[in-house]
Amino acid sequence: MAEENFTDMNKEAKELANSLKKLNEEVKKHKNSKEQLEQLNTTFSGFIEKLEDLTKKSALIFDNVSKITPSKIDKKVDDINKRIDKFESLVEKSVKEINKMETNMVSQIASMGHAVEKNTEEIKKKRGFIWK
């Protein structure tokens, strides 16, 4: 009977050891799960911060876009067209002045050419040369 009690106690000890091993494995799994949950929580917190930042930026973009109205766009286009018209006018005026100056210069060069020819002939006559 003592042997039987010893065998039963041995069997119970083995069962208890197996139960402790299983309990230890469960505790390790729980610890790993807790660490994984903490990592996920950290990642999720970072995601939420980025999402909040993007939400703020989106709100700013929407606010700025809402301020752009067709009338403001039309006004800017009109301003640009006025500047282009003014520039074209200045270019045309400059071209006219350049053409006028060119015409005057051609006329002056022609006059100088005639004057040079006339003076050359007069000088030749005074010196007695007659060239044909």
Q: How many domains does the chain have?
A: 2
> What is the model's pTM?
0.41
Residue range(s) defining the domain that contains residue 36: 1-67
The residue from 67, 85, 119 where one domain ends is: 67
User: 30 and 41 share a domain?
Assistant: yes
In tens, the pLDDT along 7-46 reads: 878 888 888 888 888 888 888 888 888 888 888 899 999 9
Flag whether pLDDT at 82 surpasses 90. yes
**Mean per-residue pLDDT, 83-102:** 95
One domain, residues 56 and 100 = no
Residue 59 shares a structural domain with residue 81: no
Check pLDDT > 60 for residue 55.
yes
Whether residues 5 and 62 fall in one domain: yes
Give the number of other CB atoms < 10 A from CB of residue 121. Answer: 13
Q: How many helices (H) and strands (E) does the chain have?
A: 2, 0
State which of 47, 67, 87 marks the end of a domain. Answer: 67
* Three-class SS state of 69: coil
